[in-house]
Amino acid sequence: MKRALLPLLLLLSFPALAQRKEITLETIYNPSTKVYFSGAIQSGFLWLDDSTFIWPRTDQKGDVVEWQRFDVKTGKAQVFFDRAVFQKELVQAGVSDDDAKEAAKSKAANFDAKKSVIVVEAGHDLFLYSLAKQTVTRLTSTPAAEELPVFSPDGTRVAFVRANDLFVVDVATRTERQLTTDGSDQILNGILDWVYDEEIYGRGTKRGYWWSPDSKRIAFLHFDEHGVPTYPTVDEIPYHPVAATYNYPKAGDTNPKVKLMIAPAAGGEVVTVDNDRYAGDILIVRVGWNGDGSLLTYQVQDREQTWLDLDTSDGKTLIHETTKAWVSALDNPAFLADGSFLWQSERTGFQHLYHYKADGTLIRQVTNGNWEVSELHGLDEKHDEKNGWIYFSSTERTHLGADIDRIKLDGSGFQRLTEKAGTHCIAPTARW
């Protein structure tokens, strides 16, 4: 496991109003004159090392103005890469002006691990942009659209979905390898369907595959939509509206049948994780790998979500959560160097942190009280491997805000790091 580094707190403020103005329908709704009352709240910080991060500086509409590189020691920022050059290179590589413009202003820049190359979706194909050379190289060239590209952790391959099948392409040789072959309108591999996108993983989350940390395997969800009713919709935003049909189960309708599968990135036999012990509809609500990539963990729930199991790909159930009401899907376990892990649970009525051995034996409840741990940011094991600091956000001070706190792995030494009351955000350098 790579150690988690200390977090940096970023204080975000809203711009003060220079003068009083009357609020009209135009200031609220007119596309050309409306006021963005929330200002230009920034996000998307990516750390290069302990003291340097990059981020897409955006305007009030959320469009990228420029990518900046920021040094927290000096407080100085500089342009990370030139968007105009990026856009020009895309056009020279065969991308239309409109598609190149959209790609250049997007915040969805998929970097390799070294933050030296970006893989870009443009004009239904994938392109690589070298930040050092400021050049674009075509990665794919097919009539079908490539979706959801992600670099392998070692940066040698890019995985993507085409026509609901999962592929990988070698960055150096541009050689493609198709990992699944049954993709269709009703069979989805590595891409989430409506139920999982909208209700389980979060609206806008379409990717349903996960690289192993050693870059050798890809875990992915396989959906069988046969039997799921369809629902027609109309996208009225374009000048010429577009009709589309989705597999959409209403209450009581058939849900998609889901399997968790593992494919070797170099090609070979695709293995289905055995979940036959579960009867009836199940939901696979989270998927992740342990620290060294030797084991896949995932969370299973019943359709009513009254229980949740943390399972492993070798057939073990490490934790069983249950309630008479509803169990929320939880973050993946955070693994420590010794193979043990941190787990978040609401079993007491408040979400808190628990420390477990690798075999699922509870070591201790780390945090406790009539407040909640809202987000786990990381663990610093550098200075004390046996009892390092855990960094997290919580409502310990007030349920109306969020503070950044830390506590020792053994539950001692609780410390609030944010002084003023309010809602505090964090951009952690944690890398599990």
The pair of structure tokens assigned to 284 is 């696979």
The C-alpha atoms of residue 201 and residue 192 are separated, in whole angstroms, by 9
What count of other Cβ atoms lies within 10 Å of the Cβ of residue 290?
Answer: 21
DSSP 351-377: -EEEEE-TTS-EEEE---SSS-EEEEE
pLDDT at 239 over 60: yes
Kindly report the length of the chain: 432
What count of other Cβ atoms lies within 10 Å of the Cβ of residue 259?
Answer: 15
The pair of structure tokens assigned to 206 is 């379409």
pLDDT level of residue 131 (50, 70, 90 thresholds):
confident
- Report percent pLDDT > 70 for the chain: 94
More confident call, 23 vs 232:
232
Burial of 319 per CB tally in 10 Å (0-12, 13-18, 19+): buried
Give 333-376 pLDDT, tens digit per residue.
999 989 999 999 999 999 999 999 999 999 999 999 999 999 99
pLDDT at 429 over 60: no
Query: Residue 195 — φ and ψ, nearest 5°?
Result: -60, -50
Spell out the long-range contacts of 286-289 with Cβ–Cβ below 8 A and sequence spacing 24 or more.
286/329, 286/330, 286/331, 286/332, 287/210, 287/219, 287/221, 287/260, 287/332, 288/210, 288/332, 288/333, 289/210, 289/212, 289/213, 289/219
Q: What is the pLDDT of residue 119?
A: 94
- What's the DSSP call for residue 200? I
Q: What is the mean pLDDT of residues 424-432?
A: 60
Give 59-74 pLDDT, tens digit per residue.
877 778 888 899 989 9
pLDDT at 11 over 80: no
Q: What is the pLDDT of residue 110?
A: 86
Q: What is the pLDDT of residue 298?
A: 97
The C-alpha atoms of residue 9 and residue 423 are separated, in whole angstroms, by 12
Of the CA atoms within 13 Å of residue 118, those in its CB half-sphere come to 25
Show the DSSP H helices in 244-355 as ranges: none
pLDDT at 3 over 50: no
The C-alpha atoms of residue 419 and residue 70 are separated, in whole angstroms, by 25
Q: What is the pLDDT of residue 51?
A: 87
Per-residue CA distances from 305 to 227, 282, 285, 308, 349 (Å): 22, 9, 10, 7, 16
Q: What is the mean pLDDT of residues 110-114?
A: 88
The pair of structure tokens assigned to 56 is 């897409």
The C-alpha atoms of residue 110 and residue 126 are separated, in whole angstroms, by 11
Give 31-85 pLDDT, tens digit per residue.
778 887 777 777 778 888 888 888 888 887 777 888 889 998 999 999 888 888 9
Per-residue CA distances from 349 to 113, 143, 309, 317 (Å): 39, 52, 18, 22
For 112-142, letters b (16+ CB in 10 Å) and e give beebebbbbbbbbbbbbbebeeeebeebbee
The pair of structure tokens assigned to 175 is 């050689």
| Residue 324 near residue 347, CB atoms below 8 Å | no
Q: What is the pLDDT of residue 406?
A: 96
Give 243-298 pLDDT, tens digit per residue.
989 899 998 899 999 999 999 999 999 999 999 999 888 999 999 999 888 899 99
pLDDT level of residue 20 (50, 70, 90 thresholds):
confident
Q: What is the pLDDT of residue 16?
A: 46
pTM of the model: 0.87
Going by C-beta distance under 8 Å and a sequence separation of 6 or more, which residues neighbour residue 345? 319, 321, 330, 351, 352, 354
**Closest to 100 measured CA to CA, from 91, 92, 108, 109:** 91
pLDDT at 415 over 70: yes
Q: What is the pLDDT of residue 83?
A: 85
Give 174-202 pLDDT, tens digit per residue.
999 999 999 999 999 999 999 999 999 98
The pair of structure tokens assigned to 135 is 């050049």
pLDDT level of residue 384 (50, 70, 90 thresholds):
low
Q: What is the pLDDT of residue 6?
A: 42
Sequence ranges of the domains in the chain: 40-117
Tell me the one-letter amino acid at 173: T
Give 311-332 pLDDT, tens digit per residue.
999 999 999 999 888 898 888 9
pLDDT at 1 over 50: no
Q: What is the pLDDT of residue 65?
A: 82
